[in-house]
Amino acid sequence: MKGTIIKATGSQYEVLDETGATVTCTIRGQLRLTSFEATNPVVVGDRVEIDKENSGAKGVITALLSRKNYILRKSVNLSKQRHIIAANMDKAFVIATLVLPRTSTGFIDRFLATAEAYSIPAGVIFNKADLYNEDEKKAVRELIDMYQKIGYTCAIISALSEKDIQSLRELLKGKVNLFSGHSGVGKSTIINALVPDLNLKTSEISGYHQKGTHTTTFAEMHRLPGGGFIIDTPGIREFGIIDFDRMEVSHFFPEIFKTGRNCKFNNCLHVNEAKCAVLDAVSRGEISLSRYESYVSILYNEDSFR
Ligand SMILES: Nc1nc2c(ncn2[C@@H]2O[C@H](COP(=O)(O)OP(=O)(O)O)[C@@H](O)[C@H]2O)c(=O)[nH]1
Ligand SMILES: [Mg+2]
Ligand SMILES: [Zn+2]
């Protein structure tokens, strides 16, 4: 029978099977795996083939079906080991806030660039709208306008507003949605509001204890009552793009890539070259300066390259 991995904790896997039942599975020794070496062979979102034991509650994963996409964690050291976070997403959202804590556009853009690198449609959800003053409300509207023009799905919500949560439900409906973002932006609060009876810990309860400690956390998939899923990625600070070169960075910024076709040199990095259409567009305000700065920061961050 086929199923989907909803939780992967090292040796045990929770699989949602075709009947809607959850089966606790182990892996059979010789699984045919992906084309590259990863520290974790089977991840949340993976489609698998399982053999159930008679009781139905337990089983064995016998095959991993091919992935439509996946996303990696940024490696903490310089090893070549790849840790896959999740697979088969329809959409990847970064949860951001303008206050408590403020999310930088650099962080948002790195997330969006990573999603581009792995061909995952992406979006930005600005949370804590109830706390924004007039200036912040204006700033968030400008950001949303800018990101929507590039093609990203955007929303502004307060996790405390039932009306906002209802419209978020519509946005997520029927899709497998990855949620990411800095600690404290409200991911758990939003997921709790979307999925009744889940009761994920929010930072008021657990924040103090988690500070400075290395808690092992796993991505987990939650079923939305109205259809669709959320993949929660607690404790994952940053995703990583692996195996790309400097010329490719602009591919991960759609508006820069598009404009760059008009540069004089076809190997233009859009930094100080003559007749650079991207630099012209930045100076005319057609490409946002913050987006351009994020592009340059990835371009010159050696850590980004392998
Ligand atoms: N005022 C306000 N507080 C929020 C909102 N969303 C989350 N919070 C609070 O922000 C803190 C961090 O939330 P949490 O869900 O733990 O963030 P996470 O680390 O991203 O999972 C908690 O104290 C929440 O109650 C919101 O929309 N408005
Ligand atoms: Mg949380
Ligand atoms: Zn250029």
- pLDDT tens by residue, 10-62: 789 999 999 999 999 999 776 755 555 677 889 999 999 999 998 889 999 99
Same domain, 264 and 203: no
* CA of 281 relative to ligand 2 center, distance in Å: 39
Q: What's residue 10's pLDDT?
A: 77
Same domain, 197 and 271: no
Asked whether the beta carbons of 128 and 97 are under 8 A apart, the reply is yes
| Ligand 1 and 291: CB distance under 6 A | no
Domain end call among 201, 223, 239: 239
Same domain, 185 and 293: no
Long-range contacts of 258-261 (CB under 8 A, 24+ apart): 259/286, 259/287
Same domain, 147 and 202: yes
Whole-number Cα distances in Å, 1 to 16, 21, 26, 31, 62: 11, 12, 15, 16, 10
Sheet of strand 83-87: strand arrangement: 83-87, 70-73, 239-240
Determine, yes or no, domain membership for 75. Answer: no
DSSP string, the chain: -EEEEEEE-SS-EEEEETTS-EEEEEE-SS----SS-BS-SS-BT-EEEEEE-TTSSEEEEEEEPPPS-EEEEPPSSS---BEEEEE--SEEEEEEESSSSPPPHHHHHHHHHHHHHTT--EEEEEE-GGG--HHHHHHHHHHHHHHHHHT-EEEE--TT-HHHHHHHHHHHTTSEEEEE--TTSSHHHHHHHHSTT-----HHHHHHHHTTS------EEEE-TTS-EEEE-TT---EE--S--GGGGGGGSHHHHHHHTTSSSTT--SSS-TT-HHHHHHHTTSS-HHHHHHHHHHHT-GGG--
Same domain, 46 and 133: no
For the entire predicted model, the pTM comes to: 0.93
* CA of 105 relative to ligand 3 center, distance in Å: 22
Determine, yes or no, domain membership for 284. Answer: yes
Determine, yes or no, domain membership for 7. Answer: yes
User: Measuring CA to CA, which residue among 36, 29, 32, 45 is closest to residue 81?
Assistant: 36
Phi, psi values for residue 118, rounded to 5°: -100, 10
Q: What's residue 207's pLDDT?
A: 45
| Ligand 1 and 161: CB distance under 6 A | no
**Count of domains observed in the chain:** 3
* CA of 202 relative to ligand 2 center, distance in Å: 5
Determine, yes or no, domain membership for 263. Answer: yes
* Ligand 1 binding pocket mutation candidate from 133, 180, 202 (most atoms within 8 A of CB): 202
Q: Which residues of the chain have pLDDT under 50?
A: 205-215, 306
Q: What's residue 231's pLDDT?
A: 97
Ligand 1, atom 9: closest residue by C-alpha: 186
Ligand nearest to the backbone CA of 159: 1
Same domain, 225 and 116: yes
Same domain, 211 and 145: yes
Same domain, 93 and 51: no
| Ligand 1 and 131: CB distance under 6 A | yes
Determine, yes or no, domain membership for 70. Answer: no
Same domain, 43 and 100: no
Cβ-Cβ contacts under 8 Å for 48 (sequence gap 6 or more)? 2, 3, 4, 5, 13, 15, 25, 42, 61, 62, 63, 64, 65
Same domain, 48 and 89: no
Q: Could you list the residue range(s) of the whole structural domain that residue 92 is in? A: 85-239
CATH number, domain containing residue 249: 1.10.40.50
Asked whether the beta carbons of 270 and 295 are under 8 A apart, the reply is yes
Determine, yes or no, domain membership for 80. Answer: no
Determine, yes or no, domain membership for 71. Answer: no
Determine, yes or no, domain membership for 76. Answer: no
Same domain, 24 and 95: no
Same domain, 156 and 89: yes
* CA of 124 relative to ligand 2 center, distance in Å: 17
